[in-house]
Structure 1
Amino acid sequence: MAKIAVSITSAKDNTDKATVGFVVANASVASGQETVVFLNVEGAYLAQEGYANDIHEEGFAPLKQLIGQFVEAGGTIWVCSPCFKKRGLNEEELIPGATIVGGAKLVEFLSQGASCITY
C-alpha cells in the first residue's frame, strides 16, 4: 500500500481546487492507498462544520459529500494548526474525522515515503 498526501490550500477562494483535491483523495483511498488530506492556508476553513455545505462545482459531487465519502472510506484529514489558529476557527466545530496537527506530523508522514500532490 502506498502513502498519499493531498495538500489542499484552497476553500471558497478557489472552490475548483478544493473540490478536485477531494476527488483525487477519494480516488486514492478507494484504490486502497493510505491517504491523508492536509488542509492548510485557506483550506483550513474546510475543517469547519457547515463551511463546505454550499460548495458545488459543476460536473462534480457537492464538496460536503466528497468530504464525507473520504472519511467514510477510511481517509484521514489533518488540519494545519497555525493555519487554523490564524483564521480564528473553532476546534469545537471541526468536521467529523478532522484532527488539528502541526507541520511535523505531515513531515513525518512524507518521510515514510508518501507522495504528495497539492491543490
Structure 2
Amino acid sequence: MSKLAVSITNAKNNTDLCTLGFVVANASVASGVETVVFLNSEGAYLAEQGYADDIHEEGFAPIKQLIDSFVEAGGTIWVCSPCFKKRGLDDGKLIEGAKIVGGATLVEFLANGAACITY
C-alpha cells in the first residue's frame, strides 16, 4: 500500500495552506493511500477542539468539515508534541482522531516508504 504524510505547518496564520493540506489529505485517503496528517508548528492549533470551527477558505469546504471527513475516511492525525506544548494547548481538548506524537513516529513512517508533502 502507498503511504503519504501531509505535514501541515499553518493554521489561522495561512488558512489557504492549511485548507489545501486537508484537501490533498482527503484526496489521498479516498484513493486508498495510507495517509497521515502531521500537524506541526502553527498547524498544531488545528488539533484543539473549536479552533478550526471558523476557518473557511473561499472555494473550499470549511476546514472542520475537511478534518472530520479525513478522520471518517480512515485518515490518521498526528500532532507534534513539542509544538503542541510550546503553544500551551490542552491535550484534554484534542479533536477526534488526533494523537500527540514525537518526531520519531513521523520519521519511522517516512523511513518505511511514505512520501511527504508540506503545507
> What's the TM-score, normalizing by structure 1?
1.00
| 1:62 equivalent in structure 2 | 62
What displacement does 1:71 show?
0.1
> What is the aligned residue count?
119
Letter in 2 for 1:61: A
User: Alpha carbon RMSD of aligned pairs, Å?
Assistant: 0.2
CA distance in 1 between partners of 2:44 and 2:7 (Å): 11
Identical pairs, percent? 79
> What's the TM-score, normalizing by structure 2?
1.00
CA distance in 2 between partners of 1:63 and 1:9 (Å): 14
Instruction: Spell out, residue by residue over 1:6-32, the C-alpha distance to the aligned partner (whole angstroms, 9 max, x if none).
Output: 000000000000000000000000000
Residue ranges of structure 1 left out of the alignment (5+ in a row): none
Instruction: Spell out, residue by residue over 1:34-82, the C-alpha distance to the aligned partner (whole angstroms, 9 max, x if none).
Output: 0000000000000000000000000000000000000000000000000
Residue ranges of structure 2 left out of the alignment (5+ in a row): none
Letter in 2 for 1:104: A
CA distance in 1 between partners of 2:29 and 2:22 (Å): 10
Letter in 2 for 1:52: A
